[in-house]
Structure 1
Amino acid sequence: MRTTFKTLLLALPLLAAGFSASASDSAAGRWRTIDDETGRVKSIVEISQAANGTLSGKVLQVLQSEHGPHPLCNKCEGANKGKPIEGMTILWNVRPDGANKWANGTILDPAKGKTYSSKVALVDNGRKLDVSGCIAFICRTQTWLRDQ
């Protein structure tokens, strides 16, 4: 009985290390979006990874908006026009592009109602996510923080 208990105690740190290592290899999870102009946390986005490795991201909660607590995407066009930003998919079809990198997807900026070519990279052992929206070769990057 004591041997089993000791074995379990020794195995727990190894098991925990395995979980943290696998979490840092994936962009899947909840992220706090940081406004690159103000440095403030704007929202919580949940990123999911499909079986083929592509990423998509949905806004779970808007934390800060100049348009009140539950803003609508009034500047969006098409199906998203006038829809709540909370629950909206803002990142889609971002494909694997190397170790801890994804590219050639699309990202929506609900504040401007515009879509951009997107790329994503895990940094800082998976604790941060560099998310870029690009037009041609001009990109704007935000660093999102993993929401534990």
Structure 2
Amino acid sequence: MAMKFKLFGSIIFAAVSTISLAASTNSDPLVGHWKTIDDRTGYSLADVVISKDSQNRYIAKIVHVREIPGAARQQTCSQCKGALKDQPLVGLTMLKGLSINPDNEQEFINGTLLDPVSGQVYQARARLKNNGRHLAIHSRTEGAPVGRNMTWIKE
């Protein structure tokens, strides 16, 4: 009887430890799959995966592209410049360099955002909203008084 109790206790301990480890490695609210919503059309244009780079800053890569009703699906970054010109959208890094604001852990600063439709690169900052389910991204070109606001939805 004592042997069965020890074995049962060991199994429970292992299960709780595994669940705790999984929860602690997935505690970063920004890491994961997000659906992008275009601020101009209101349509979801792509799905991205946010992860961290080797410098512990956030990056977002496109993993799926949708078409806008009435328009052809964009497959490449035809308006991009330099090495990104005509690169496939799937696999493209569209957001990079974001880091946690040391004054507010719900805000992220110092990033850049590539708009694959226009090829324009914007300065970007972001804020988690709705208990981490939405990411509000504000981007603008350097020196511009106004910019774009978009929302990504966590899947």
TM interval, short-chain normalised: 0.7 to 0.9
Distance across 2 between alignment mates of 1:53 and 1:116: 21
Distance across 1 between alignment mates of 2:126 and 2:145: 15
Query: Could you state the TM-score of these two structures normalised by the residue count of structure 1?
Result: 0.79
Structural mapping, 1:1-148, within 5 Å: 25-50=28-53, 52-65=55-68, 66-68=71-73, 71-98=75-102, 99-135=105-141, 136-147=144-155
- Residue type at the aligned position of 1:85: L
Aligned length: 146
Distance across 2 between alignment mates of 1:16 and 1:86: 32
- Residue type at the aligned position of 1:96: I
Distance across 2 between alignment mates of 1:144 and 1:130: 7
Gaps of 5+ in 2: none
Aligned-pair CA distance for 1:131: 1.4
Distance across 1 between alignment mates of 2:54 and 2:48: 20
Work out which of the two has the higher radius of gyration on C-alpha atoms and give 1 or 2: 2
- 38 and 18 in structure 1: CA distance in 2 versus 1, 3 angstrom threshold: farther
- Residue type at the aligned position of 1:101: E
Query: Could you state the TM-score of these two structures normalised by the residue count of structure 2?
Result: 0.75
Looking at both structures, which has the greater relative contact order when contacts are Cα pairs under 8 Å and sequence separation is at least 6? 1
**The residue matched to 1:138 in structure 2 has which SS?**
coil
Distance across 1 between alignment mates of 2:106 and 2:53: 15
Compare 91-100 and 118-127 and name the one that shifted more. Answer: 91-100
